[in-house]
Amino acid sequence: MQHFDSDYMEGAHPLILQRLIETNMEKTPGYGCDYYCENARDKIRKACNCADAEIHFLVGGTQTNATVIKALLRSYEGVLAADSGHISVHEAGAIEAGGHKVLALPQKDGKISAEIVDNYINIFNKDANHAHMVKPGLVYISYPTEYGTLYSKEELEQLSSVCKKHKIPLFLDGARLGYGLMAKDSDVTLETIAQNCDVFYIGGTKVGALFGEAVVITKPNLIENFFTIIKQQGALLAKGRLLGIQFDTLFSNNLYFEISKHAIDMAEKLKDGFAKKGYQFYFESPTNQQFIILENKKMEQLEQAVSFGFWKTLDEEHTVARFATSWATQETDIDHLFELL
Amino acid sequence: MQHFDSDYMEGAHPLILQRLIETNMEKTPGYGCDYYCENARDKIRKACNCADAEIHFLVGGTQTNATVIKALLRSYEGVLAADSGHISVHEAGAIEAGGHKVLALPQKDGKISAEIVDNYINIFNKDANHAHMVKPGLVYISYPTEYGTLYSKEELEQLSSVCKKHKIPLFLDGARLGYGLMAKDSDVTLETIAQNCDVFYIGGTKVGALFGEAVVITKPNLIENFFTIIKQQGALLAKGRLLGIQFDTLFSNNLYFEISKHAIDMAEKLKDGFAKKGYQFYFESPTNQQFIILENKKMEQLEQAVSFGFWKTLDEEHTVARFATSWATQETDIDHLFELL
Amino acid sequence: MQHFDSDYMEGAHPLILQRLIETNMEKTPGYGCDYYCENARDKIRKACNCADAEIHFLVGGTQTNATVIKALLRSYEGVLAADSGHISVHEAGAIEAGGHKVLALPQKDGKISAEIVDNYINIFNKDANHAHMVKPGLVYISYPTEYGTLYSKEELEQLSSVCKKHKIPLFLDGARLGYGLMAKDSDVTLETIAQNCDVFYIGGTKVGALFGEAVVITKPNLIENFFTIIKQQGALLAKGRLLGIQFDTLFSNNLYFEISKHAIDMAEKLKDGFAKKGYQFYFESPTNQQFIILENKKMEQLEQAVSFGFWKTLDEEHTVARFATSWATQETDIDHLFELL
Amino acid sequence: MQHFDSDYMEGAHPLILQRLIETNMEKTPGYGCDYYCENARDKIRKACNCADAEIHFLVGGTQTNATVIKALLRSYEGVLAADSGHISVHEAGAIEAGGHKVLALPQKDGKISAEIVDNYINIFNKDANHAHMVKPGLVYISYPTEYGTLYSKEELEQLSSVCKKHKIPLFLDGARLGYGLMAKDSDVTLETIAQNCDVFYIGGTKVGALFGEAVVITKPNLIENFFTIIKQQGALLAKGRLLGIQFDTLFSNNLYFEISKHAIDMAEKLKDGFAKKGYQFYFESPTNQQFIILENKKMEQLEQAVSFGFWKTLDEEHTVARFATSWATQETDIDHLFELL
């Protein structure tokens, strides 16, 4: 059976496991106050070219979104996000459980534009009843988006600019950040992101780590007492050094970028293969998630030997399927897939 | 200056004030445990033909929606509502502050259909990822809607039926209930509402009372410890008898219905007047709120002598204005308005 | 039957009802943006000698506590309060429902001292684990306390000073404020309170109004968007002018102070009566609540003709009963009580 | 430097790391729906002798407490716990952030008795104002307690019985469960715990795992939709199999119990050593945490070569220090400590 279901089906990159083994019996203080975490923070600051960044390590994506968003908003504020955004749909109401409305915006290819954000806030400000409404207090975007698409550098700068204009922070969910940064033709670097976002996170769970997300607060003192907020949210790992070791490894010798690049290469190979065989794509995705339109008959046949994600029913005879590659995908997995097709 | 801004510009119907004066120096227990509240409950039960109904008196609409919805939902559930619903837009995120997502549905004329609700829940149930999503746990509708429109008896029965099918309660926001019940050609009675809804409230604030909303729970024991929930929400009035006296008066001698009828008569007169002068309506509203399309020049001229609500900008030359009548509107107010037009 | 159960058994002072009648058919804007609210705000600012104070009118005490405390705290903070405080015991968890811990402090006669607050915060700051604990972010006191006792001017100044030292606000719950201010030998004025507290409220519900609490924020801009926070909490009265009219009346011609003084006179008469008959007091209360130790036999006999509050079981043969006077208590009520004793 | 600071200073038991390596490149479904989680569940059910138990794996202790408690309580309920309990003091208000009050009870040696719980609930039920108060809806205990002490089988049965009597669940926090079960003279087994608690968790983080807590719901269907609640709390690990593999290993070949026993042996050795040297103990702890009274001078000297936890200042010349052993403590660590003393 070939598996293309998701990008979190394996454990961790072998180098990470090796480091965990080497350090296993060392005794360190808990909660992220150890040497490995400090090391990882330094390396991430350098990679972001953001010497003042405050960095915290959390365990998972929904947890990170809920914690950061709760920390950034006042009680009367909500978060602007694409209606297809992870926080809008697939986090079981974690943002609302924290007391805040997700103000869903229409998206195009999973992205929201600076113009739409600007319009929303302008209309809000002009509305005679806006004191009875949820104030937009934050913009949330995903990079790559849930549809595998990417913001360009210009689009990020425009979003950043509109946020500055309205004095609200921009938060970027980078659960799959590496796969965005290493996409072909992407003009966005980690530095671009650090320059344009007030807070973002570098996803580990889907990019080579066992688990872990590195939150980067690019403006020092933006969030007071974030450590305690993390604790209150149940998001503070006792053995914090496990996160430090993982990110230290990922940000040594360019590993994070190399394994991300590999996943992109695999995605390109997959894309080419499908294209050559005449398949069509539901989204034009330059990243590790590919959305293929399959005839239902073909799909059923394929499911005998390959597993992949159901995305949506297109029409009575066609389904959109999601194929994800990752740092762990092997070239032979894809060869084998196309033998089956 | 003539005022048609809203239906809560005056104090209370004079009979209510009179009763408050007569009873002012009586000593009663607090928190709704008094003779007047009991009396009012009995009269409401009779008016609803629902002998087992549990009735609680709260102070205002947003408060009532937030309290009832929090009481009806479990932490992992959200509330289905029209995207134009009061809870979706104009309650400053009160539902989310209580921890729950408002699952916004597309509406037609401010209404959601049983079909749309059914589809939403069916699609949710079939979604392979639904355990990662907010479960629809309640349907919220307004009667009349925020657009002044009404559900027919058949539409209510269909909504009720789809809720029963999916085993979730139906909650009706009746902030302007009287104005819906007394609309021309409405086939919905208070009994219809009690039969089809699990919980609803009878609006007092906008229909003759100083303030107050009577929550009717038609199924006994549907909500455990609702008294304590009300207290926790800060919605328990110390001198509860003020609410009892008001609803006792409104439900004596048909007062609630008669004053509602008067508001409808005034709205019809207003409607006829505008129609005769060739104005167009943005919504076809049979209730006390009328949405008139005004040329901007005309509007500015009118604003010198009449106040009304801004609803929305239609195009560069036209605006939609809201004119509301109420139990307190006088025929001469409207005559005077048309002299000005 | 004589009633001394509580201080909210009647409606409102007759002058308030009269003003409600006189203004009943006036049309005003909603939500506290009317002429009467503005007038009341001006009079309260003058009475407090606090020209910059921001004033909001809410409906009830629990609601006001929950709304103010939520507005003043960040997510990781809690509120310091006496373990006998209203928010600690009798608000059904409203503070916790807003996400915050009540950090209960030991009290003496219902009061917490500056020293205890200072110690608590110092110990917290020194605790090596304090980042894992709830940060004290606010001090809450009641004036009078739940035991009828009063802080002296010096005690308030000390509390204020310790709060300033630790940079946290001081919030005073004045549900029975008038009865404290007019107590015999009290050296605290409204001005004292305004000078020492960051936020406090002037209770109307228990002191002559039908309902209503006036929140005074003595530092402008301490709370951003408090209007929206009030709305979100379901605490915004549509016909806000009802609150404005009531507080305008209470703060005209010294009414609030005179009727409070009357309640104190009645309490003193009650106290003298009990003392002369040899009864003992459980607390030494200078305000309108008196806590009398009754032999159970005597109590049962008394209950035939007089109603009062149960406070606590003292021992097998004695009970502590609470007798409350109010603006509405008549001298003959008390005469009649002592005829029965 | 010898370290006795806490029981989470190392990584994981080598067998766990080995299993993680062996399984690393296997592809499994996410979120705990994999083969390893199922296996671990079966083994835990057997170890508990509770065939119907529902088992979920979470990441950390505060997270588990917050998630389980929120799932078990209705909005108007609070949780009874020792005032020294972890949820009362050291979880940064996580329970309150979820909307619930921790109803703190006086403890003896870190334990609450069935009698105290029973009294609290009886007094609550008899209180005429209890509908204005937080209803006790759950009992939380820790085993071992934060003071290293243990409930006996009889004490657990009594607590269970009083919970049944009042129809509220009993929840046991087993962050250090193994160290309790393997304590000398303990008459409590995993089966005892499963029989007496409605929900409990088996701590992995402090007992051999990298991280992870296994929640055991002994009554099927006690909590509906717990999976979604876990997701909403941000407590759902994407690569759930990491938890499955760890608990599968811990519950194979008696590993969990053996490594716990080792920690106890080390604690006994430590205890004997201190006792022989004439030191006194602040608590009489039979588990892996030992609380030693140190002269301050001696302490400062010791701190040059040994690290341990500060517990509290006893008097001007003495401090209570906490020494923790764990599965990873080596006999030579302790020998070396006593050479230094």
Tell me the DSSP string of D32-85: T-SHHHHHHHHHHHHHHT-TT-EEEEES-HHHHHHHHHHHH--TTEEEEEETTS
Q: If pLDDT is split at 50, 70 and 90, which confidence band does D259 have?
A: very high
Neighbours of chain B (3+ CB pairs under 8 A): A, C, D
CATH of region C24-254, choose from 3.30.1490.20, 3.40.220.10, 3.40.640.10, 1.10.357.10? 3.40.640.10
E runs forming strands in chain C = 2-3, 54-58, 77-82, 102-105, 135-142, 170-173, 199-203, 213-217, 280-281, 289-295, 306-307, 309-315, 318-324
The topology (CATH level 3) of D16-254 is: Aspartate Aminotransferase; domain 2 (3.40.640)
Q: With contact defined as beta carbons under 8 Å apart, do B136 and B120 qualify? A: yes
| Cβ within 8 Å of residue B3, ≥6 positions away | B9, B306, B307, B308, B333, C27
Model confidence pLDDT, tens digit, residues A128-174: 899 999 999 999 999 999 999 999 999 999 999 999 999 999 999 99
D24–A10 CB contact, under 8 Å:
yes
Nearest CB to C228 within list A76, A99, A224 = A76
Task: Enter the tokens of residue D154.
Answer: 């009889």
DSSP summary character for residue B313:
E
Nearest CB to D10 within list A3, A27, A93 = A27
CA torsion D151-D153-D154-D159 (nearest 10°) is 60
B237–C28 CB contact, under 8 Å:
no
Q: What is the pLDDT of residue A341?
A: 82
Exposed e or buried b per residue across C43-66, where buried means at least 16 C-beta atoms within 10 angstroms of its C-beta: bbbebbebeebbbbbbbbbbbbbb
Neighbours of chain A (3+ CB pairs under 8 A): B, C, D
**Domain layout of chain B by residue ranges:** 2-7+256-340, 14-255
% of chain C surpassing 90 pLDDT: 97
Q: What is the pLDDT of residue B104?
A: 98
% of chain C surpassing 70 pLDDT: 100
Neighbour count for residue D265 (Cβ, 10 Å): 16
Spatial CA neighbour of C57 closest among C289, C186, C241: C241
Q: State how far the Cα of C76 lies from the Cα of A95, in Å rounded to an integer.
A: 17
User: Going by DSSP bridges, is the β-strand pair C318-324/C309-315 parallel, antiparallel, or unpaired?
Assistant: antiparallel
Nearest CB to D96 within list C101, C131, C310 = C101
Distance of residue B205 Cα from the nearest chain C Cα, in angstroms: 8
B225–D70 CB contact, under 8 Å:
no
| Cα within 13 Å of Cα(D1), Cβ side | 10
B225–D131 CB contact, under 8 Å:
yes
Spatial CA neighbour of B145 closest among B336, B308, B283: B283
Q: What is the pLDDT of residue B67?
A: 98
- Closest residue of chain B to A92, computed from CA coordinates: B133
Neighbour count for residue B319 (Cβ, 10 Å): 20
Spatial CA neighbour of B256 closest among B214, B207, B289: B207
| Cβ within 8 Å of residue C167, ≥6 positions away | none
Model confidence pLDDT, tens digit, residues A238-292: 999 999 999 999 999 999 999 999 999 999 999 999 999 999 999 999 999 999 9
Spatial CA neighbour of C139 closest among B233, C115, C93, D102: C115
Q: State how far the Cα of D165 lies from the Cα of D65, in Å rounded to an integer.
A: 24
Mean pLDDT along residues D34-49: 98
Model confidence pLDDT, tens digit, residues D124-172: 999 989 999 999 999 999 999 999 999 999 999 999 999 999 999 999 9
Q: With contact defined as beta carbons under 8 Å apart, do B162 and B136 qualify? A: no
Task: Enter the tokens of residue D161.
Answer: 């019985």
Q: What is the pLDDT of residue A177?
A: 98
B93–A101 CB contact, under 8 Å:
yes
- D-chain CB neighbours of C102 within 8 Å are 101
Q: With contact defined as beta carbons under 8 Å apart, do B81 and B107 qualify? A: no
Q: State how far the Cα of C198 lies from the Cα of C161, in Å rounded to an integer.
A: 12
Q: With contact defined as beta carbons under 8 Å apart, do B60 and B213 qualify? A: yes
- Closest residue of chain B to D134, computed from CA coordinates: B228
Q: Is the pLDDT of residue C106 over 90?
A: yes
The topology (CATH level 3) of B14-255 is: Aspartate Aminotransferase; domain 2 (3.40.640)
- What's the first-to-final CA gap in chain B, in angstroms? 13
Model confidence pLDDT, tens digit, residues C235-245: 999 999 999 99
Inter-axis angle of helices C241-250 and C255-276, to 10 degrees? 70
H/E stretch holding C44 reads helix C35-48
Tell me if the bond preceding B29 is cis, omega within 30° of 0: no
Q: With contact defined as beta carbons under 8 Å apart, do B56 and B230 qualify? A: yes
Task: Enter the tokens of residue D321.
Answer: 């220090």
Model confidence pLDDT, tens digit, residues A25-64: 999 999 999 999 999 999 999 999 999 999 999 999 999 9
Q: If pLDDT is split at 50, 70 and 90, which confidence band does C340 have?
A: confident
Model confidence pLDDT, tens digit, residues C288-313: 999 999 999 999 999 999 999 999 89
Q: Is the pLDDT of residue C250 over 90?
A: yes
A59–D59 CB contact, under 8 Å:
yes
Distance of residue B245 Cα from the nearest chain C Cα, in angstroms: 11
- What's the first-to-final CA gap in chain D, in angstroms? 13
Task: Enter the tokens of residue A80.
Answer: 């602007």
Domain A16-253 belongs in CATH node 3.40.640.10: yes
Neighbour count for residue A221 (Cβ, 10 Å): 8
**Residue-wise pLDDT tens for chain B (341 aa)?**
889 999 999 999 999 999 999 999 999 999 999 999 999 999 999 999 999 999 999 999 999 999 999 999 999 999 999 999 999 999 999 999 999 999 999 999 999 999 999 999 999 999 989 999 999 999 999 999 999 999 999 999 999 999 999 999 999 999 999 999 999 999 999 999 999 999 999 999 999 999 999 999 999 899 999 999 999 999 999 999 999 999 999 999 999 999 999 999 999 999 999 999 999 999 999 999 999 999 999 999 999 999 999 998 999 999 999 999 999 999 999 999 999 88
Q: If pLDDT is split at 50, 70 and 90, which confidence band does D61 have?
A: very high
- Closest residue of chain B to D235, computed from CA coordinates: B132
Neighbour count for residue B59 (Cβ, 10 Å): 28
Q: What is the pLDDT of residue A239?
A: 98
Tokens 């269907």 belong to residue: D221
Distances (CA, A) of D298 to B244, D279, D301: 72, 11, 5
A131–C229 CB contact, under 8 Å:
no
Q: What is the pLDDT of residue D341?
A: 82
Q: What is the pLDDT of residue A170?
A: 98
Mean pLDDT along residues A306-317: 92
- Closest residue of chain A to B94, computed from CA coordinates: A99
Distances (CA, A) of A158 to A110, A136, A151, A162, A170: 17, 17, 10, 6, 11
Decide if C2-7+256-340 and C24-254 have a common fold. no
- B-chain CB neighbours of C92 within 8 Å are 228, 231-232
Nearest CB to C133 within list D76, D89, D129 = D89
Domain B2-7+256-340 belongs in CATH node 3.90.1150.10: yes
CA torsion B195-B199-B203-B205 (nearest 10°) is 170
Q: State how far the Cα of A216 lies from the Cα of A220, in Å rounded to an integer.
A: 10
Nearest CB to C234 within list B66, B211, B231 = B66
| Cβ within 8 Å of residue B161, ≥6 positions away | B114
Spatial CA neighbour of A308 closest among D236, D27, B123, D37: D27
Q: What is the pLDDT of residue A1?
A: 84
Amino acid, res. D144: P
Task: Enter the tokens of residue B137.
Answer: 């746990």
- Closest residue of chain A to B133, computed from CA coordinates: A92
